[in-house]
Structure 1
Amino acid sequence: MAEPDPSPPGTGFWLFGYGSLIWKPPPHYDARLPGYIEGYVRRFWQASEDHRGTPAAPGRVVTLIDRAHYAGLVDPHPEPADSLVWGAAYHIPAEHDAFVREYLDIREVNGYTIQYTDFHPSPSPTPNPAPIRTLVYIGLPSNPQFVGPQEPDALARHILRSMGPSGENREYLFELYAALEGLGPESGDGHVKDLVRRAGMLEGRGREEEQD
């Protein structure tokens, strides 16, 4: 059974962004908090046919994988059991609730569904705060755009050659890396960082081959 919405439509809500929402936020938010969630792994395992790729040549964007499901997968980038998923939470006020929900449903239409998770602000605005229950869009493993584990070099190459209506897939990767590094001293992501390293090496190698 799906969890009931902790903030019924029309009352305002908190949204957790872990991908492009970190550097390309939703409209009409009145608060933004850096922080993290637990119990998930962020991976470039979601195909993108509408933003960073096309139906004929899908790009790759991030989704979240529940730890219980992740435990049964073989990942070339194994994730430590105590790692956190950093991102940003946005508060959408009641007067803009309906508009932003519709905007997000259109933006996240390609395989993502609404879930809910506890968000921990960092640094905390108050001592010993209760977590904030946030809405989050996740491309579940059951959705048709979920591609699962991929060999890292092949994934980096795929990202470098992909492009869609929202721009180059490489821009998404590098913007996400910069946005995560800017959230806080512990906010980096090993999977994203390694893909940036591999993409940079592949681009450098390509430039060298062009000059030969």
Structure 2
Amino acid sequence: MDESMGEKRRHPLSREAIQNGFVSELIARSGTSLRVLSDEERRRSLDATLAAQPTQGDDVWLFAYGSLIWNPAFHYIERQPVLIRGWHRQFCLSTPIGRGTPARPGLVLGLDRGGACKGVAFRIDCAEAKAELELVWRREMVTGAYVPRWVRLHGPGLIHDTPGIAFTINRAAPNYVRPVSEDATAQVIATACGALGSCRDYLFDTIHGLEGFEIQDRHLNRVARLVSEYRDRATDSPPQASGELPMTGPGTG
């Protein structure tokens, strides 16, 4: 679909970078005044999530639907394609930092209510779960734009209704963006770029990561085609903001 899908780039959001506070530094350098969760708030969120595990003492499954698929940056025992119900993958989170700038914010994925979503489940050893998930929380729970919750994973290699953690979108977050047209979404993705790279790369890396598990997302594929068409049109005239998306707030992706 796009040449960039065949390239393997070293992502700046590595395990070591997260451990060394890269995300916090990224926000501090951005020049934006963002409400960032404290270490204590993140710790309480993680503790509460683990305490709510339906099967205490078991290994922990983590559901990935975006960048965690192709850049997990945490240790895991196994991974496999799964389906969850009641949530769908959507470009509904504005990001003025990781995949955009305050002047031209980008969009990254969240799990919004309704429908179903195919993604990848990672199994983390119970003895290492808290330490590994602390890294994930530092990466995903930066501002509270996501709500971690237990969902049911469905897959041929799993026991029926295996529980797993998923980061669902917080609709009350200031950077939550209600779904608009795929064309408007594509215009943002085609032009936004930040310290972690372009939104375009984020989109194609996610499609490529899903295809590695034989998962097709028709919505993402349609947006990708529109992104390519928009970039082709932009070679003849300067890009213009669509004005349809209220882009404010944080996100990394």
The answer to whether 1:32 aligns with 2:66 is no
Structure-2 residue corresponding to 1:96: 128
Q: Give the 3-state SS of the residue equivalent to 2:208 in structure 1.
A: helix
Q: Give the 3-state SS of the residue equivalent to 1:84 in structure 2.
A: strand
Aligned-pair distance for 1:200? 0.9
| Residues 14 and 6 of structure 1, relative CA distance in 2, 3 Å threshold | same
Structure-2 residue corresponding to 1:70: none
Aligned-pair distance for 1:40? 1.4
Structure-1 residue corresponding to 2:94: 47
Structure-2 residue corresponding to 1:71: none
Aligned-pair distance for 1:51? 2.0
Matching residue's letter, 1:93: D
Post-superposition CA distance 1:165-212 (Å, at most 9, x none) = 21111100111112222322xx211221110010011122233569xx
Q: Give the 3-state SS of the residue equivalent to 1:200 in structure 2.
A: helix
Aligned-pair distance for 1:94? 2.6
Post-superposition CA distance 1:8-61 (Å, at most 9, x none) = 898641100011111112411111011111111211011123421234432101
Aligned length: 188
Inter-partner Cα distance in structure 2 for 1:181 and 1:45: 22
Q: Give the 3-state SS of the residue equivalent to 1:142 in structure 2.
A: coil
Post-superposition CA distance 1:128-151 (Å, at most 9, x none) = x31210011122212221111122
What TM-score results when the alignment is normalised by the length of structure 2? 0.67
Q: Give the 3-state SS of the residue equivalent to 1:202 in structure 2.
A: helix
Structure-2 residue corresponding to 1:117: 151
Consecutive unaligned residues of structure 1, counting only runs of 5 or more, are 68-82
The answer to whether 1:172 aligns with 2:219 is no
Structure-2 residue corresponding to 1:150: 180
Percentage identity across paired residues of the two chains: 31
CA RMSD of aligned residues (A): 2.4
Q: Give the 3-state SS of the residue equivalent to 1:94 in structure 2.
A: coil
Aligned-pair distance for 1:96? 2.2
Contact 2:170 2:176 in 1 (8 A): yes
Matching residue's letter, 1:135: I
Inter-partner Cα distance in structure 1 for 2:97 and 2:84: 27
Q: Give the 3-state SS of the residue equivalent to 1:95 in structure 2.
A: coil
Matching residue's letter, 2:64: G
Contact 1:9 1:98 in 2 (8 A): no
| Residues 208 and 10 of structure 1, relative CA distance in 2, 3 Å threshold | farther
Consecutive unaligned residues of structure 2, counting only runs of 5 or more, are 1-47, 239-253
Of the three residues 162, 174, 180, the one matched with 2:192 is 162
